[in-house]
Amino acid sequence: PPERTEEKPMNGDDGGGGGPLALDGNAAEGRAAEGDVVYLNVRENMEEGKSPSWLAYAAYLADRLDGNDGGDGGNDGGSGGNDGGTKDEATSTRRKRRRSAGGIDYVAKTDSDTLIDVDALMRTMRRDLPPAPLNRRTYGGRPLVDFVGSGTYMAGEFYFVSIDLASYVARTLTPGQRRYLSRRIEDSDVGAYVHTHPRPIRTIDLSKGVFWRHPLKEER
């Protein structure tokens, strides 16, 4: 996206200079061969900004697919001018744009050692996950409790947010706000970011309908 992150692990949040990161030869070849690989402009790291960077990219992509120049920042109301049309026409247009969101209703994050049953995932999506705009402020996964932070969050093996929440976390919250909320436990941090939204959050508990296996790699 045009708002390129800085050449550091923190996705640009801590200021400083630096340009786009260069892909090494193997990565560039892999992208060309696979055709569906996304390389975020952040250095590999464990707890320093990959998830917000991914949510920012997803929100940007949804805007591009929808023909918008910017996100709604997680707001629940449309606004805008009326270029000669009626009020009903303008309202209908805003509703249509909020509903389409480029065809992206949710953004998911998963670990590299998570194996997903795609058929079960699709059944869950059809049965339990309404499309936009009926999915506003939705956050789902396997809930955990952060006793230190006194909050709940979704386990990083697999969780998802609605596209408006992705935009809220990545765009409405400032880098300073995210730094203030961060405990450098990234999945917990994302939960903290989500729950700062001024409106109620709809959570979907997948604990009784887990469609993935994790972890699938051994620690060495």
Burial class (CB in 10 A: 0-12, 13-18, 19+), 122: exposed
Phi, psi dihedral angles at 122 (to 5 degrees): -65, -40
Phi, psi dihedral angles at 141 (to 5 degrees): 155, -150
pTM: 0.74
Weakest mean pLDDT among 39-43, 79-83, 156-160:
79-83
Phi, psi dihedral angles at 109 (to 5 degrees): -125, 135
Distance CA 28, CA 30 (A): 5
What is the average pLDDT across 126-153?
Answer: 90
More confident residue, 71 or 109: 109
What is the average pLDDT across 186-204?
Answer: 95
Distance CA 9, CA 204 (A): 31
Per-residue pLDDT reduced to its tens digit, 181-194: 998 889 999 999 99
Q: What is the dihedral of CA 180, 186, 192, 193, to 10 degrees?
A: 80
Element (H, E) at 164: helix 163-167
pLDDT of amino acid 95: 44
Question: Could you tell me if 203 and 153 are in contact, meaning their C-beta atoms sit under 8 angstroms apart?
Answer: no
SS3 177: helix
Residues 6+ apart with CB under 8 A from 23: 31, 39
More confident residue, 87 or 149: 149
Which pLDDT band, with edges at 50, 70 and 90, does 206 fall under?
very high
Weakest mean pLDDT among 93-102, 134-143, 166-175:
93-102
